[in-house]
Amino acid sequence: MLQAATRWRWLIWIATTLLIYYPIFQTRPVFDDTAHVEFAARQGWQLLHMGPFFFRPFERVLIGVNWMLSGDNFWLVRLASLAIFILKVSLVYDLAARIASPRGGWAPWVIALVFLLHPMNVCAVGKIDTFSEDIAALFALLVVRLAIIAAGSGEAAPATAWRNAWLVAVLLFTGMLSKEAFVGIAAATPILFAVAIRISGRESRRALVYLVAFSAVAALAYFAARHAFGFPPAGALTPAARYQLHVGSNALLNLAAEFASITFPGSSLAVFVRFNAVHVIISLSLIIAYLMLFRRQLVAMTAGYGRLAVEQRRQILIVLIAALSAMFPTCLISQVISENQTALALPFVILLALACPLAVRLEPADTGTRTANLVGCLSAVALVWMAGATVDKVLAARDTSEHAYRIGDVILSKYYENPTPNVTVCFEHSLQTEPRKYSVLSMPDDLAAFFQLYRLRLAVPAPALDVVDLRLKNPGNPPPCNLSIAGASVTRQ
């Protein structure tokens, strides 16, 4: 019976994921994806050429191999992203089942579906540039799962931690190879296991020492690999000012943006500039209903935290630390973060908000059929709404790429009317201007043209291509334009 239930779970997750995300196979590279396309076109899959900016060998090799097999049809990368995404859904289900009260019933199912249907996954799953976020989140979930298992092992917790020390080290090494932001989880891992096994006993301290030693070896191996491939300990191989670490008010802004993007997932992450009013109203209504229905559990998790069972306290603290450590590194970059950068923290925020309150075991008088029915209705509304928002964003991403490639076709056709070794492309005043923060929901003409110039750079050596924005007040003294782009039209000069 258990095997049949497990089989049905996987079938439902796979079918739902494919039903929602199949349009991504019709989506061509846009935004930062194009940098990977250019790099793959020139360097293939070679690890010795690890760019364009970051040391992420799993992403680099898979994109390079995919390019060699089928050009800019990145079906292999997208298939791998969806497979990893389904594995993450299964891990969220497993963690929710371990954390929530045994009386939770359908709670792990609902929590896993909330994660599966959350619109913030679209950027991480739907772009080839964000495969790194997808795979790093998988390794982070596996690390936290080991900590949760150790927390539930009781007296055997130190032995469990010792047996898993080498596995933790492997996960940390592969996680850091996936994405630099994983360093937050890596740094917090000893704290996660210190919470899980406690350090009051001699065996616990010995187990923690072994785990720290194994983790240090993993970190040294990672930085040695970075150095071997020409990457400094911090920063990118090619200087990119937007990714330099920055401590200040911007970190708080990024932290607020991460929480807001999860809370208001139907809107662009530029929540301080423009909202989707309908999504915000629905989000606020769901949040208010959530706070009212789970107020006793939330009070018990905060004001009454010290009176909770030891195992409950450990689990809640582990998930909280994981959520904060997953958010922290991306909050330090000097610009407002992109939606895909929430992928690492998203599963832990969902577990913290939904699974951890259910771990609080209330007296029977505090629960009842009416509350259960209200929670069921709330869950149904949230799932339907998120499913609609996710499908909308997936379709919008596909339409965005179609718009961009129409402009790209025009650029190439005009260039080939009279090919020249040196090309100056001018953005005219009538070109639609890029907003302060773009999202997958739209692509202005200038942004579409800018990213589609990679197709021209593949035909013309990069130093021979010059882009001049005539919309600037003081554009200098630009050379005569070979191609002028205005809206979706391109003219030769």
Q: Answer yes or no: are the C-beta atoms of 426 and 470 closer than 8 Å.
A: yes
Q: Give the pLDDT confidence score for residue 142 in this predicted structure.
A: 94
Is 440 in the same domain as 361? no
Nearest to 322 by CA among 417, 126, 171, 186: 186
What pLDDT digit, counting tens, does each position of 157-200 carry?
666 777 788 888 899 999 988 888 888 888 888 888 888 887 76
- Dist. CA 49–CA 51, nearest whole Å: 6
Q: Give the pLDDT confidence score for residue 57 in this predicted structure.
A: 81
Is 332 in the same domain as 440? no
Instruction: Specify if 190 maps to a domain.
Output: yes
Is 373 in the same domain as 480? no
Is 220 in the same domain as 315? yes
Residues of the chain with pLDDT under 70: 1-6, 44-54, 101-105, 154-159, 200, 232-254, 257, 260, 264-280, 303-308, 330-341, 361-372, 375, 430-442, 461-463, 471-479, 487-488, 492-493
Residue at a domain's end among 396, 431, 448:
396
Nearest to 66 by CA among 58, 56, 77: 77
Instruction: Specify if 1 maps to a domain.
Output: no
Q: Give the pLDDT confidence score for residue 271 in this predicted structure.
A: 38
Number of H helices, E strands in the chain: 18, 4
Residue at a domain's end among 396, 419, 436:
396
Is 149 in the same domain as 92? yes
Instruction: Specify if 2 maps to a domain.
Output: no
- Dist. CA 442–CA 436, nearest whole Å: 12
> Structural domain of residue 207, as residue ranges?
9-396
Instruction: Specify if 287 maps to a domain.
Output: yes
- Dist. CA 73–CA 78, nearest whole Å: 10
Instruction: Specify if 367 maps to a domain.
Output: yes
Instruction: Specify if 70 maps to a domain.
Output: yes
Residue type, 48: L
Is 336 in the same domain as 419? no
Q: For residue 288, how far is the Cα from the chain centroid?
A: 26
Instruction: Specify if 3 maps to a domain.
Output: no
Is 447 in the same domain as 372? no
- Dist. CA 176–CA 188, nearest whole Å: 13
Name 241's Cβ contacts closer than 8 Å, sequence gap at least 6.
334
Residue at a domain's end among 352, 380, 396:
396
Percentage of the residues of the chain whose pLDDT score is greater than 70: 71
Is 414 in the same domain as 351? no
Q: Give the pLDDT confidence score for residue 180 in this predicted structure.
A: 80
Tokens 């990069």 -> residue: 462
Instruction: Specify if 4 maps to a domain.
Output: no
- Sort 181 into a burial class: Cβ within 10 Å, 0-12 / 13-18 / 19+: buried
Is 158 in the same domain as 229? yes
Is 303 in the same domain as 323? yes
Q: Give the pLDDT confidence score for residue 241 in this predicted structure.
A: 42
- Dist. CA 162–CA 184, nearest whole Å: 22
DSSP H or E stretch at residue 184: helix 183-197
What pLDDT digit, counting tens, does each position of 394-438 carry?
888 888 888 888 888 888 888 888 777 778 787 777 666 655 444
Q: Give the pLDDT confidence score for residue 462 in this predicted structure.
A: 58
Is 330 in the same domain as 406? no
DSSP H or E stretch at residue 427: strand 423-427
Name 329's Cβ contacts closer than 8 Å, sequence gap at least 6.
180, 181, 183, 184
Q: Give the pLDDT confidence score for residue 172 in this predicted structure.
A: 92
DSSP H or E stretch at residue 254: helix 249-263
Q: Answer yes or no: are the C-beta atoms of 144 and 356 closer than 8 Å.
A: no
Q: For residue 135, how far is the Cα from the chain centroid?
A: 9
Asked, as a colleague might, if the bond just before 478 is cis with ω within 30 of 0, I would say no
Percentage of the residues of the chain whose pLDDT score is greater than 90: 7
Domain total of the chain = 2
Is 121 in the same domain as 163? yes
Nearest to 408 by CA among 493, 488, 486, 491: 488
Q: Give the pLDDT confidence score for residue 442 in this predicted structure.
A: 63
